[in-house]
Amino acid sequence: MEEPYRIKISGGVLSPGELKYICEAAEGLGLDAISFGSRQDIIFPEQIDESKFDQFNKIQFIKPKRDGIENVASSYVSAEILPSTSWLTSDRYLYILEQFKHKLKLRVNITDPKQRLVPLFTGNVNFIASEHEDYWYLYVRLPGWKKTLMYPALIYSWDMDKIEIAIENILQEEPETIETVFDLVSDAVDTNNRTVDKALEVPFYPFPYYEGMNRIGPDRYWLGLYWRNNRYDLKFLKAMCDLCSENKIGKISITPWKSFIVKGIPLKSKLQWEKFLGKYGINVRHSMLEMNWHLPVNDPDALNLKKYLVTNFDQNDISTYGLTFGITSYESDTYNFTSIVIEKNKQPDIKGDFKIRDTYNLLYAKNFDPNTQQYIMHVQDVDKVELPGLLMELSQLYFEQLGTEREEEEVELVQKEKSEVEVYQCSECMTIYNEVYGDVTQDIAPNTPFESLEGTYACSLCEAPKSSFEKKVLVH
């Protein structure tokens, strides 16, 4: 299948005016609909006339595999409407995204670990908000790496772009370890890193229902819209952009689930929006059975398989609340980010006119939580007709273990790491020196005892002397 043209939408955020211009360009290129991609970009689902591109000079038409250009994904879409880190506001996202103006060669994710709508680890460079204001964990998985590894420092908000560029620039060195990446990046750029004082904690939340009109606070609403076939009618979108402008709504957000969200609809305009949706016959009551799927773009076989499986779930009254499903194939190079993965196998090479039925593997994430990044093979090489029963079996397993495996894991961690961990805390600003992590901002290696630090050691944040640090015991 030929790669479709796309438009980068940094962080999945664009203004109504920008979306309307894109819709007008799509019409000018002979289309009647656009689609959304899993990287929160916009896809032109059919072939378009390249000779007309210069008529739309505000748009850069790309094919990621051909051009080596990627989009920034972000969880801006979840700000205000889902659980969030207190300092990570909508405005903060926009300021940060504004940094990324160059043509990205790597996939970049900028996410809040407390939301569930946007995956954390599907990029090559994954910035994940920490509890410290304007500081981010960085998890790296360069092309060819099998695992995502934590960068040994927290990254300052206003250094994110230059650190990403530095990582792009060292790709030719083919670094194989995160320590090498850290050393090369540190040599290349000056940064305001902060030492890692605790491991990233990603709380478990069931996958949210993100459709329909929903309240934000006392006087505003947000609207989530999802279309099964991922073909969004251009006339509807243009009219919606005009309505957004009329209501002074500044941003529209694309989700990784081939849908979009409009935030900030005034209470006084709610009826106007409901009448508008009714006029265009828009359904905002899809079942969770349908909305928790991730499918390849322009893949009719995958769409038909989804319909077949959803119909079976519906007929058997199966609940999939909190679960997500992905359909992929042996040739896919994307990272899985759903609870359950249905993987289509490659057909054997057989001469003659023999028809071979497709077979599938079923995998599920550890604890059914894709953020664990660990997938367990459930069955291999099964026929399509076996999939509904096996998926229902996995769904039942999910509800049986919901909460219990996490509790067991927490007990295991307590036993493994055992309770008391000694750290040293600055009495001036409460910064923690944890011997496990050292202090990369001052070239102090992990597992360096506090007592062996030079007498000239000072707090990496407020520069208080070593004598200001007090021993504390943390219970894990």
**pLDDT of res. 417:** 44
Answer yes or no: are the C-beta atoms of 100 and 72 closer than 8 Å.
Answer: yes
Are 207 and 71 in the same domain? yes
Are 84 and 218 in the same domain? yes
Q: Is residue 42 part of a domain?
A: yes
How far apart are alpha carbons 230 and 89 in whole angstroms? 29
Q: Is residue 378 part of a domain?
A: yes
Top pLDDT among 330 and 387 is at 387
How far apart are alpha carbons 119 and 111 in whole angstroms? 8
Answer yes or no: are the C-beta atoms of 344 and 358 closer than 8 Å.
Answer: yes
DSSP-H helix ranges across 30-177: 64-67, 90-97, 160-169
Q: Is residue 161 part of a domain?
A: no
This prediction's pTM: 0.84
How far apart are alpha carbons 153 and 137 in whole angstroms? 7
- The secondary structure element, H or E, covering residue 220 is strand 220-226
Are 90 and 223 in the same domain? yes
Q: How confident is the prediction for the chain on average, in pLDDT?
A: 90
Instruction: Give the E-state strand segments of 16-59 in sequence order.
Output: 33-36, 42-43
Are 309 and 399 in the same domain? yes
**60 CB neighbour count, 10 Å cutoff:** 13
**pLDDT of res. 319:** 84
Are 280 and 325 in the same domain? no
Number of domains in the chain: 3
Are 213 and 281 in the same domain? yes
How far apart are alpha carbons 156 and 128 in whole angstroms? 11
β 72-74/375-383 pair status: unpaired
For the chain, give the number of residues: 476
**pLDDT of res. 412:** 46
Q: Which amino acid is at 52?
A: K
Q: Where residue 30 falls among pLDDT bands split at 50, 70, 90?
A: very high
Q: Give me the domain span that covers residue 247.
A: 1-120+202-286
Q: What is the pLDDT of residues 253-296, one digit of tens each?
A: 999 999 999 999 999 999 999 999 999 999 888 888 888 999 88
Q: What is the pLDDT of residues 298-341, one digit of tens each?
A: 788 999 999 999 999 989 888 888 899 999 987 777 788 999 99
Are 304 and 452 in the same domain? no
Are 305 and 281 in the same domain? no
* Residue 65 backbone dihedrals phi, psi, to 5 degrees: -65, -40
Are 55 and 116 in the same domain? yes
**Token pair belonging to 288:** 């969770």
Hey, which residues does 139 pair with through a beta bridge? 126, 150
**pLDDT of res. 1:** 61
How far apart are alpha carbons 239 and 253 in whole angstroms? 17
**pLDDT of res. 18:** 97
**Token pair belonging to 39:** 């990287």
Q: Is the four-CA dihedral 168, 170, 171, 176 of positive or negative sign?
A: negative
What is the rounded average pLDDT of the residues 404-433?
Answer: 64
- Of 146, 124, 19, nearest in space to 70 by CA: 124
Are 445 and 431 in the same domain? yes
How far apart are alpha carbons 53 and 28 in whole angstroms? 10
- Percentage of the chain surpassing pLDDT 90? 66
DSSP-H helix ranges across 132-233: 160-169, 178-188
Collapsed DSSP state (helix, strand, coil) of residue 36: strand
* Residue 372 backbone dihedrals phi, psi, to 5 degrees: -75, -20
Q: Of 244, 269, 286, which one is at a domain's C-terminal end?
A: 286
User: Does residue 350 register a pLDDT over 90?
Assistant: no
Distances (CA, A) of 9 to 38, 53, 81: 12, 18, 21
* Residue 96 backbone dihedrals phi, psi, to 5 degrees: -70, -45
Q: How many CA atoms lie within 13 A of 325 on its CB side?
A: 29
**Token pair belonging to 32:** 């009647």
**pLDDT of res. 415:** 46
Q: What is the pLDDT of residues 154-187, one digit of tens each?
A: 999 999 999 999 999 999 999 999 999 999 999 9
Residue 28's region, left for phi above 0, alpha for psi from -120 to 50, else beta, is alpha
User: Does residue 360 register a pLDDT over 90?
Assistant: yes
Top pLDDT among 246 and 405 is at 246
How far apart are alpha carbons 402 and 417 in whole angstroms? 24
Q: Is residue 13 part of a domain?
A: yes
| Of the candidate ranges 65-69, 207-211, 246-250, 432-436, the one whose mean pLDDT is the lowest | 432-436
Answer yes or no: are the C-beta atoms of 307 and 327 closer than 8 Å.
Answer: no
Q: Is residue 185 part of a domain?
A: no
Q: Is the four-CA dihedral 90, 96, 99, 102 of positive or negative sign?
A: negative
Collapsed DSSP state (helix, strand, coil) of residue 18: helix
User: Does residue 414 register a pLDDT over 50?
Assistant: no
Q: Of 251, 286, 321, which one is at a domain's C-terminal end?
A: 286
- Of 99, 112, 85, 199, nearest in space to 159 by CA: 99
Q: Of 407, 432, 450, which one is at a domain's C-terminal end?
A: 407
**pLDDT of res. 334:** 76
**pLDDT of res. 71:** 94
Answer yes or no: are the C-beta atoms of 36 and 297 closer than 8 Å.
Answer: no
Hey, which residues does 470 pair with through a beta bridge? 425
Tell me which range, 48-52, 69-73, 442-446, is most confidently predicted by mean pLDDT: 69-73
Q: Is residue 165 part of a domain?
A: no
How far apart are alpha carbons 132 and 57 in whole angstroms? 41
The domain spanning residue 454 has which CATH number? Answer: 2.20.28.10
DSSP letter string, 344-359 = EPPPP---SS-----E
Answer yes or no: are the C-beta atoms of 437 and 389 closer than 8 Å.
Answer: no
Are 424 and 317 in the same domain? no
Q: What is the CA radius of gyration of the chain?
A: 24
What is the rounded average pLDDT of the residues 20-37?
Answer: 95
What is the rounded average pLDDT of the residues 357-371?
Answer: 92
